[in-house]
Amino acid sequence: MRFSVDAHAIGRHLTGNEVYVKNLLQGFAALDPESEFIAYLSSDDAAAWVPSRFPFRRVSANPFLRLGRDLSRKLARDKPDLVHVQYTAPLACPVPCVVSVHDVSFLEHPEYFPRLRALQLAVTVRRTVRQAARILTGSDFSKRAIMAAYGLDESRISVVPNAAAPEFRPVNREQSAGVVLSRFRIRGPFILSVGDLQPRKNQVGLIRAFGRLLDAHPNLPHHLVLAGKPTWFAPRVAEAARQSGHASRIHLPGFVGDDDLLHLYNACDLFVFPSFYEGFGLPLLEAMACGRAVTCSDTSAMPEVADGAAILFDPGSTDQMARAMADLLLDAELRARMERLGLMRASQFNWHTTARKTLEVYCEVAGGGRVSGRRTAAAQIAP
C-alpha cells in the first residue's frame, strides 16, 4: 500500500507536532517493510530525519501555499491510499484523510491564542474533521473534547497515545550537569519546565510560584529554567522574570533541541509542568523517562497521562504550585518514590505501539478487506 504523511513540521521547531511526525515515520519504517510511505517536507534539512527508504516531496513552508495548492497537486500526482495530516487537510484533498487533532484548546480557550490564529484553527480544523475518514488523538480527555466540540460519533475517533522518544532516558547526572553548565551557563541545582513561551503553558504563574517558594525557603539554592521556543508572548514571560525579584536565578534558554533537552531533564532536581490545558502533555513522559520527579497541573489530560506518577496542583494557585515544588525538593524520600513511579509510568508508552496502532487505522481506512491481515502482521512484530 502507499501512504502519505504531511511532515512539514519536521525541522521547523514546531515542538510537539514535529516530535509526533518524526517518531511516527521511524516507527513505520521498523514495522512495515512492504508499504510505501511518502513524506511531504518543508524544511531544507528535514530529509535527514526521514527513513532512508521513504521518498519525500517538497511543499511550501507557507501554510496558504501548502494547503491551498502544493499538497493537493502532489497528492493527485502520487495517488496514495490516504494522507495523514495534523489538524488541517489541504483545501482540495483527492484521497481519504486521517487527521491527528491533539487538542481543541483553540476552541475551549481561545484567549490563549492570537485572535486570528484561534479563528483560523476554528475554521480549518472543523472543515478537516468533518471530511476526515478517521480522527486520531492522544488521550481519552481529548477524545471527549473533540466529540463535544464537533458533535461526532465516537467511532470516528481513535485514541492512540503518544510516548517519549527512546533518546529520553536516564544518563549520568554529573555529566548532564556539566553539559548544562557549558552550553547554558547554568550552575547548581535547578527546577525545569519545558514548553513554548505562551499563555497556555503558564510560565508566568510558575515564575510567581518560584518566587513564593524562595520566599518561604530562602536557603534553597535552586534556579528555574524555562526551556521553550519564544512566541509573541515571550516578552511577557521575560518581564515577569525581571519583576520577580529573582531574575538572576531564572533562565530562558529558548528552543532546545533533543540532545540538550536530554541533559536538562537529567540534570534538574524537579520537573514542573504548570500548563492550563494539554491534550496529552508529552514533556511529562519525557521527564519521567529520564528519571525525574514530576509535579504538574490537575487539569485536562495531565492527570490521565501522569496516572499517579506526579504530584498534582491547581495551575491557578500560586500557593499550591509552590507547595508541590517544596514537598518534592525538601523530602528526598518522596522525590525518590516519584522518580521510580515516573520511570514505570513512562515505560508503559512507546512509539512502536503508537506507530502500530496508527498503521492499523491506516489499513482500516484504506485497506478494506486487508485490515485483518495487516493487523496480524503488525501483532507479530509488536513486543
Could you tell me the CA-to-CA distances from 241 to 61, 127, 277, 361, 367 in Å, in that order? Answer: 33, 40, 22, 45, 54
Same fold, 2-163+350-381 and 173-346: yes
Give the C-alpha separation, 295 to 320, whole Å.
Answer: 11
Looking at domain 173-346, what is its CATH homologous superfamily? Glycogen Phosphorylase B; (3.40.50.2000)
Q: What is the structure's pLDDT at 14?
A: 64
> Rounded CA gap, 381 and 28, in Å?
12
Residues lower than pLDDT 70 in the chain: 14, 368-383
pLDDT in tens, 103-115: 999 999 999 998 9
Please check whether residue 382 is in contact with residue 356, taking contact to mean a CB–CB distance below 8 angstroms: yes
Would you state the CATH architecture of domain 2-163+350-381? 3-Layer(aba) Sandwich (3.40)
For 145-207, give the secondary structure using H, E and C: HHHHHHCCCHHHEEECCCCCCCCCCCCCHHHHHHHHHHHHCCCCCEEEEECCCCHHHCHHHHH
Contacts of 196 (CB under 8 A, 6+ apart): 15, 228, 229, 231
- The ranges assigned to domains in the chain are 2-163+350-381, 173-346
pLDDT (0 to 100) of residue 43: 87
Say which residue the cell 513552508 belongs to: 61
Q: Give the Cα separation of 168 and 282 in Å (integer).
A: 12
- In the three-class reduction of DSSP (H, G, I as helix; E, B as strand; rest coil), residue 21 is classed as helix
38 and 52 Cβ atoms separated by less than 8 Å: no
Query: From its phi and psi, is residue 297 left (phi > 0), alpha (psi between -120 and 50) or beta?
Result: beta
Sequential DSSP letters for 271-307: EEE--S--SS-HHHHHHHHTT--EEEESSTTHHHHHT
77 CB burial (10 A radius; 0-12, 13-18, 19+): exposed
Asked if residue 139 lies in contact with residue 305, where contact means CB atoms within 8 angstroms, the answer is yes
